[in-house]
Amino acid sequence: MGYIKKIVENKIPGIYVLSLKIGSNLIQDMENSFFMNANDQVREVCGQLAKDPRLKGGYNAMGFSQGGQFLRAVAQRCPSPPMFNLISIGGQHQGVYGFPRCPGESSHICDWIRKTLDLGAYTQAVQEHLVQAEYWHDPLKEEDYRKNSIFLADINQERGINETYKKNLMALKKFVMVKFLNDTMVDPPISEWFGFYKSGQAKETIPLKETSLYIEDRLGLQEMDKAGKLVFLGVKGDHLHFSEEWFYSTILPFLQ
């Protein structure tokens, strides 16, 4: 993230970039990305944004991997200061049903996470203490997911309609979703464009427009789409692999 901050600052002189950190140092920040309840992380970020005088007029947000859906939760739950554009780079907006590889290949953590998810992703203890379980979406157990997911099912309006979430998300000027076209880390990769497995099985995927979330317009995505606010971008490469040139030409315009 330090690298991203630097290249944005180099290319847009005078821009203010806040790189969000959850915890008092980088080690805590990394540990929290695995073990700190996502709802608490969102609350912490909302507090950081509200306290920053340089953001009070509004800001653009850019989230990488799970940061994409966490920043969407910020947009839906914390409308002040206002978020203008949300750029999700490899975010999993319908969750994941598989954990093929870990970022940074911290294999012992990765193996432990897989075992824990297999044992009971929707048990209260796992939900409250394992971040990846909080956006685990099992298409074979939709009822369990809807009832027990403490983060994703809430922000995706699976248990009822929170009109405030819908109104706040629809206030975005653009919601940009970047999907990595050769992604081996996110299962299914179409979640990066808000699609997912067709309910009841884990082979066939459907795009956003065929999901009940879009058809019933529970989050306002259909209306945003018709207004030209949804932007779907594809980039060749594995998860979070992109060139500086691509970033400059494709992403920077949304920050200017």
Question: Active-site residues: which are they?
Answer: 65, 183, 239
DSSP codes of every residue in 86-150: EEEES--TT-BS-----GGG-HHHHHHHHHHHHHHTTSHHHHHH-GGGGGB--TT-HHHHHHH-S
Q: In the 8-state DSSP scheme, what is residue 248?
A: I
Evaluate the omega torsion of the peptide bond into residue 100 and state whether it is cis, within 30 degrees of 0.
Answer: no
Distance CA 179, CA 20 (A): 22
Q: Which of 193, 191, 164 is nearest to 176 (CA)?
A: 193
Distance CA 240, CA 238 (A): 6
